[in-house]
Amino acid sequence: MKTLRLLLLLLVLSTTALSQTSFMVMSVKGKVTFKDAGKGKWRAVSVGDVLDGKDVVRASFASYVKLMMNQSRLVSIDANTTRKLSEFEAVKGRRGGEGASGSILEYAAKQMKRSQEDNSDPVFGAVRGDMDVFTAVFPKYAVMSPAPLFRWVDAEKAESYELILLDDMFNTVMTLEMNSDTFRYLPDSLPPLNPDRQYHWRITRLTDYVQSDIQTFRILPQDTVQAINAELQSLDKELKEMGADDVTLHLIRGIYYEKRGLYTEAFLEYEQTIALAPDVEEYRDMMRNLLFNMKLYAEEDLLLE
């Protein structure tokens, strides 16, 4: 009798553990479908879906899916493969979620979940405005590089602009005319920018001399940049060992940067994610959340073209 009770208890515990295992879809290529608890019709898998260990997933020819298991590790189902998700086991030798990827994957899962939720409540204080004037996009807040990329958006797409860069005492560092809406600051040919210093910049549209808003950014200290780069290298290594594809790598790097408040770097990573998977609306939703944090309300459509 005791043996029977023990067996029943183990069965209940194993069933509970199985039901608690979650798999969030991070990226999909081609045709990937699943059966709920292995029963019923095959249904399409989409980014942001949350499956459990009882589900069966099938990747067709030239297809694959990357899933986040228990917000702690990535698993992959490759082309011409059908697998029950309960076949995936925890990382051997250490608890899943340890290392550089652990907290980032957990944070990524929360961000993906947030992008899936329908928020119909108005956001007070967010005035979308219009694009009668143009906007300096980045750099703003904190940046890692002493050679930052400058970018602005202009609905009129004028042919000539003037960029003025000021130091923290509002002395002019550089004034330059250009016919593009992006500019990479190159210290080799321009005055070098100093770490742990603030700078201010503004764009003037030379066709009508309308000026953009003034943006302020700070270049992080060198030791902080080195620590971030070391953490990113470790994160990339762990993710590649887990089988992450380029879409997932850019996505999670973007989430990492956003969590650190490095919005310029996050924007560029999300931009790469969207370029690699332009049809996945969830990635665009994550970019929209970032643009909201950057206070770029009216510029969303232009930046998500």
Q: What is the pLDDT of residues 224-256, one digit of tens each?
A: 999 999 989 988 888 888 888 899 999 999 989
Pick from 269, 260, 267, 256: which is nearest to 290 by CA? Answer: 267
CB atoms within 10 A of CB 115: 19
pLDDT of residue 217 exceeding 50, the answer is yes
Q: Name residue 34's beta-bridge partners.
A: 43, 57
This prediction has a pTM of 0.77
Residue 91: its pLDDT value, please?
46
Structural domains in the chain? 2-93 (no CATH), 135-219 (2.60.40.3580), 222-303 (1.25.40)
Pick from 255, 267, 203, 279: which is nearest to 46 by CA? Answer: 279
Residue 26: its pLDDT value, please?
87
Residue 118: its pLDDT value, please?
52
Residue 90: its pLDDT value, please?
54
Residue recorded with tokens 């309960």: 86
Residue 102: its pLDDT value, please?
60
Residue 215: its pLDDT value, please?
92
* Confidence at 139, pLDDT banded by 50, 70, 90: very high
- Rounded mean pLDDT of 139-161? 90
Q: Among the residues of 193-262, which ranges form H helices?
A: 222-241, 246-259
